[in-house]
Amino acid sequence: MTKKPKMPSLIASNKKARHEYFIEESFEAGLELLGWEVKSIRAGKMRITESYVIFKDGEAFLFGAHIQPLLSASTHIVADPLRTRKLLLHRREIDKLFGMVNQKGHTCVALKVYWSHGRVKCEIALAKGKKLHDKRATLKERDYQREKQRGLKNLV
């Protein structure tokens, strides 16, 4: 019996989001995709660095995610790499996110896209924007932790 090779679970991540925002709460959402998009994602052709979530008619959509079409894609389909994709969430999650996003300073951003049991999932987060001095403090704290770890490593 041969085991099926496990696919790498992480597809794309938005490292910039943790620098730009305070992450308050995160949610797992499914993505409604077309066939060519799934094939491109399997080939690793997805970016979510500038993507965020918009709400329209009581539904959530991922805006700004870029999926590059493969060259071998079908000729009868016009591939739009920046298409707005529907997020699959429970009603109470959508209502909670919509209520919080309407408050001043809050937004909803995509943190990462990954495989979960053969399906593409997107981790979205309720976030609040950082000011410049907050970003500096975060960088200072990260440098301090790095130096502390180096010091501990040298002692051992």
CATH of the domain at 52: 2.40.280.10
Q: If you average pLDDT over residues 25-49, what whole number do you get?
A: 89
Q: Is residue 146 part of a domain?
A: no
Q: Is residue 142 part of a domain?
A: no
Q: Is residue 88 part of a domain?
A: yes
Q: Tell me, yes or no, if the pTM score tops 0.95.
A: no
Domain count, the chain: 1
Give the phi and the psi of residue 70 in degrees, each rounded to 5: -75, 155
Residue 91 has pLDDT above 90, yes or no: yes
The β-bridge relationship of strands 21-31 and 85-88 is antiparallel
102-129 confidence digits (pLDDT tens): 887 788 999 999 999 889 999 999 988 8
Q: What is the DSSP letter of 34?
A: -
Q: Is residue 119 part of a domain?
A: yes
Q: Which domain holds residue 33?
A: 10-130
Residue 36 has pLDDT above 80, yes or no: yes
In whole angstroms, how far apart are CA 28 and each of 13, 18, 36, 124, 126?
Answer: 14, 17, 23, 6, 12
Q: Is residue 151 part of a domain?
A: no
Banded pLDDT at 86 (limits 50, 70, 90): very high
- Percentage of the chain lying above the pLDDT 70 cut: 92
Say what the pLDDT of residue 55 is. 92
Q: Is residue 64 part of a domain?
A: yes
Say what the pLDDT of residue 63 is. 93
In 3D space, the residue among 36, 62, 31 whose CA is nearest the CA of residue 49 turns out to be 62
Q: What is the DSSP letter of 74?
A: -
